[in-house]
């Protein structure tokens, strides 16, 4: 048995939670759109062809904002191909994923889907093969009320009211040599500045995210962010971060230790943003959009990334998540919450089939992958503000991180509902953890409204179509509250959530 403690005081908060940190991502890739959210002819499909079973799971997952249409796909995409009469839309080679894109699904279908799912759309503009002109035209098509050729085109397509898309990404992973039309930081920074300027002239209300590095191990990491922001600091609100966790040595302790690396990555990028601000003597603070993050390491082979023969909606990177992947995702969400002062948007990538929390069979069933659960529960109770939690307890040493506390935790107070929710991960693989949480100033007389744990003795086990509930939350027994102190014993290798209310 190990022991750990957390102390919070309601006078000390990190920040209010921007609910856009519970975002996700839909790319025209593999079976994310076709066979994922959209499958006309599926027994549960509605009149639009949206899969009803997937829609139900999306509502349960609870994302707030959804990034679209890519990803790498974005850098070769013509948005005009995906609007207007479906029968007239061109079939194109998608050079990002070596597939055939039919364009049966495009901007307006995605907006319809977002409205039905109750989520906010987040769009990207193509900075690979296109640039300023496409960006201003696309914003005009989507957001201008009417009376111009492009806004009237949208109306002619059946959308009288503007889509009012607020959040726009200026390209995708433009630092990556794999990107169609990849750029140097100087080329990209200049382009981002000029495009942002005209996009704002079309619609001053939009928020813009510049591309940061594709991941922290990119050789240009840090200098890329600095140089890009040096060009477009005044024009953008966000810089993006992307990260995919891997487990190359199949070493669980090392793997779960990588959660700390996300915290380091975030703090590094914050420091760079603030360095650019300091150079300008600017009080402006650029916020972070972690607009692609997840676990992705099993489905990484050449054949996972591309199938021969230019197929339509092939099976690509259909990662099957196990119990330890769910622990990692749960821990990463705690890091996002604990950086709520600067991380104002984040998208788990992607939503369905393609490294997704939801998996489907074309023409058949849909089920929750293991990582679905920590996301859904954190999104459900991640309202209000994050309290500053001081943790104490034993740690271990990992190769990449010198000190990894066995406990990762975050505490959220929702003044509106009176709830205080504790999320805690025990990273010890064999020892249970005796945890005490002092909630100073949050009042006596709290009760446990709900307490759940996510734990499976076999960390390699996954949810499948045949056994979809193998890894799912179970009641967490033995939570005690005495005065302002919560005590509980956490199982080894477990993710836990304790919701208290008055």
| 396: helix, strand or coil | strand
Helix/strand/coil percentages in the chain, nearest 5? 30, 25, 45
The binding track of 173-202 with respect to ligand AHR, each residue x by CB under 6 A or -, is x-----------------------------
Which residue has the CB atom at the shortest distance from ligand AHR? 71
Closest CB to ligand AHR among residues 27, 101: 27
Tell me if 172 contacts ligand AHR by CB under 6 A: yes
Number of residues engaging ligand AHR in binding (CB under 6 A):
9
**Among residue numbers 243 through 282, which ones bind ligand AHR (CB under 6 A)?**
none
Residue 293 three-state SS: strand
How far CA 313 is from CA of 32, 103, 307, in Å, comes to 8, 11, 10
Dihedrals φ, ψ of 268, to 5°? -60, -45
Question: What is the distance between the alpha carbons of residues 461 and 458, in angstroms, rounded to a whole number?
Answer: 6
DSSP H stretches of helix in 144-258: 149-156, 185-202, 223-232, 252-257
Q: What are phi and psi of 58, to 5 degrees?
A: -65, -45
**Which residue in 72, 213, 353, 426 binds ligand AHR (CB under 6 A)?**
72
124 lies in the binding site for ligand AHR (CB under 6 A): no
Task: Using alpha carbons, select from 190, 264, 197 the residue that is nearest to residue 227.
Answer: 190
Name the catalytic one among 101, 109, 134, 173. Answer: 173
Decide if residue 289 touches ligand AHR (CB under 6 A): no
Asked whether position 382 contacts ligand AHR by CB under 6 A, the answer is no
Q: Which range touches ligand AHR (CB under 6 A), out of 70-78, 183-191, 256-264, 473-481? A: 70-78
The reply to whether 330 sits near ligand AHR by the rule CB under 6 A is no
Interface with ligand AHR by CB under 6 A: which range of 67-75, 79-87, 260-268, 403-411? 67-75
Closer CB to ligand AHR, residue 53 or residue 175?
Answer: 175
Active-site residue 292, yes or no?
yes
Q: How far is the CB of 147 from ligand AHR (least distance, A)?
A: 36
Q: How many CB atoms lie within 10 A of CB 74?
A: 28
Contact call for residue 318 and ligand AHR (CB under 6 A): no
Active site residue 134: no
Helix (H, G, I), strand (E, B) or coil at 349: strand
Question: What strand order describes the sheet that includes 485-490?
Answer: 390-392, 2-9, 433-440, 485-490, 480-482
Residues that bind ligand AHR (CB under 6 A): 27, 70-72, 172-173, 292, 349-350
Q: What residues are annotated to the active site?
A: 173, 292
């Amino acid at each position: 048995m190990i022991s750990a403690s957390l102390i919070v005081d309601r006078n000390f908060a990190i920040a209010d939670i921007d609910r856009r940190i519970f975002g996700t991502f839909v790319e025209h890739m593999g079976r994310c759109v076709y066979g994922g959210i959209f499958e006309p002819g599926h027994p549960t499909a509605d009149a639009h062809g949206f899969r009803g079973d997937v829609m139900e799971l999306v509502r349960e997952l609870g994302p707030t904002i959804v990034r679209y249409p890519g990803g790498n796909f974005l850098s070769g995409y013509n948005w005009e191909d995906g609007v207007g009469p479906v029968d007239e839309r061109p079939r194109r080679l998608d050079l990002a994923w070596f597939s055939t894109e039919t364009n049966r699904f495009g901007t307006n279908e995605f907006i319809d889907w977002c409205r039905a799912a109750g989520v906010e759309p987040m769009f990207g503009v193509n900075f690979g093969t296109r640039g300023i002109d496409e960006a201003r035209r696309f914003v005009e098509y989507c957001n201008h009320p009417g009376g111009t050729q492009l806004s009237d085109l949208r109306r002619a397509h059946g959308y009288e009211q503007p889509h009012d898309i607020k959040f726009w990404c200026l390209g995708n992973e433009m630092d990556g040599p794999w990107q169609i039309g990849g750029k140097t930081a100087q080329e990209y920074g200049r382009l981002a500045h000029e495009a942002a300027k005209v996009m704002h002239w079309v619609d001053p209300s939009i928020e813009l995210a510049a591309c940061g590095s594709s991941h922290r191990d990119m050789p240009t990491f840090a200098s890329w962010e600095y140089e890009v922001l040096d060009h477009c600091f005044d024009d953008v609100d966000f810089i993006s971060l992307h990260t995919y966790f891997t487990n190359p040595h199949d070493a669980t302790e090392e793997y779960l230790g990588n959660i700390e690396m996300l915290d380091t990555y975030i703090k590094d990028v914050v420091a760079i943003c603030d360095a650019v601000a300091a150079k300008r003597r600017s009080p402006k603070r650029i916020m972070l959009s972690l607009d692609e993050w997840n676990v992705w390491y099993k489905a990484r082979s050449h054949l996972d990334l591309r199938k021969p023969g230019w197929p339509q909606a092939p099976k690509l990177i259909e990662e099957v998540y196990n119990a330890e992947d769910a622990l990692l995702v749960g821990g990463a969400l705690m890091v996002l919450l604990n950086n709520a002062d600067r991380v104002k948007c984040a998208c788990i990538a992607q939503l369905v089939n393609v490294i997704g929390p939801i998996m489907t069979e074309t023409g058949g069933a849909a089920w929750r992958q293991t990582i679905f659960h920590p996301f859904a529960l954190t999104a459900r109770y991640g309202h209000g503000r994050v309290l500053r939690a001081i943790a104490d307890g034993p740690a271990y040493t990992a190769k990449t991180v010198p000190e990894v506390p066995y406990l990762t935790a975050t505490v959220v107070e929702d003044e509106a509902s009176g709830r205080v929710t504790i999320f805690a991960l025990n990273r010890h693989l064999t020892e249970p953890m005796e945890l005490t949480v002092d909630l100073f100033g949050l009042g006596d007389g709290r009760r446990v409204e709900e307490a759940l744990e996510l734990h499976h003795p076999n960390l390699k086990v996954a949810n499948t179509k045949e056994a979809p509930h193998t890894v799912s939350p179970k009641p967490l027994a033995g939570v005690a509250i005495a005065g302002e102190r919560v005590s509980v014993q956490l199982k080894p290798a477990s993710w836990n959530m304790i919701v208290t209310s008055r």
